[in-house]
Amino acid sequence: MKAMLQAQHVKKVFGQKGNVFTALDDIDLEIKEGEFVGVMGPSGSGKTTLLNILSTIDQPTAGSIFIDGSRIDNLKEDQLSSFRRNKLGFIFQDYNLLDTLTIEENIVLPLALAKVSAKEIDRRVKNIAHKIGIEEILAKFPYQVSGGQKQRTAASRAIIAGPSLIFADEPTGALDSKSATALLQSLSQLNEREHATIMMVTHDAFAASFCSRVLFIKDGAMFTELVKGQTSRKDYFQKILDVLSALGGGMDDLI
């Protein structure tokens, strides 16, 4: 499998002169095409900063980042905008849906902006809605559906353009356990059946147990990683909890 995402000696420093905080310190990582990778760590560990930098939302202070063979840390803003639109999908905790559009219109927005034909848009939205399990709500508006349905809508929007890489930032953070499980199962199926490459930042060990690999960050540096392999999800979940315990701090610090 080829490398979909590579980060080499990535560093992020905030502040100037005497008031400097190093959020990320010499981060190296690689995510292969078709992997579902989780990123975990205590509050303030740098996991959200890492996601922002890898997903082109922020710039590193030093280091280089490659996505699908293209170096992205030195692109200009207009080039980055085009790259995001063509290569990346995003799933955020707060959904980011437009209330004035129907569920279907929210999902197809990336395709409409890219001037994809109406016939192709219709084909793709039916396919995605079936896979994610939201066919019955396509004509509704965001205020008419549940949080879980909103998040599955956001996931559908993220993947409908066939991005090379999907970034998920605490996607289950605002969901109840039933809705969270449904979303995680949908993402897992997309990863297994469509070979979607996903990087998910989460504080939730249950969510992380759906990943094929979990990276742990502490104080802006890589701490360790866990690979699921043939381990059952129940046993993998326990291993994740063990590493979180070794990272230090109570469970409140991991939220």
| Separation CA 8–CA 99 (nearest Å) | 40
pLDDT digits (tens, 9 = 90+) for 182-224: 889 988 988 888 888 999 999 999 999 999 999 999 999 999 9
Looking at the DSSP assignment, which residues form a beta bridge with residue 226?
214
Q: What angle do CA 234, 252, 219 make, to 5 degrees?
A: 90
Q: Kindly indicate the confidence band of residue 50, based on its pLDDT and cuts at 50, 70 and 90.
A: very high
What is 33-56+74-214+223-247's CATH number? 3.40.50.300
| Separation CA 45–CA 110 (nearest Å) | 33
- Between strands 165-169 and 198-201, the pairing is parallel
pTM of the model: 0.89
Residues 146-161 as b or e (16 or more Cβ within 10 Å = b): eebbbbbbbbbbbbbb
| Separation CA 157–CA 103 (nearest Å) | 10
Collapsed DSSP state (helix, strand, coil) of residue 79:
helix
- Structure tokens of 245? 């315990």
Distances, alpha carbon 153 to alpha carbons 144, 145, 162, 203, 208, in Å: 13, 10, 15, 22, 21
pLDDT digits (tens, 9 = 90+) for 64-116: 999 999 999 989 889 998 898 889 999 988 888 999 999 999 999 888 878 88
pLDDT in the model for residue 243: 94
Q: Are residues 46 and 220 in contact, defined by beta-carbon separation less than 8 angstroms? A: yes
Looking at the DSSP assignment, which residues form a beta bridge with residue 24?
12
Q: Where in the chain are the domains? A: 33-56+74-214+223-247
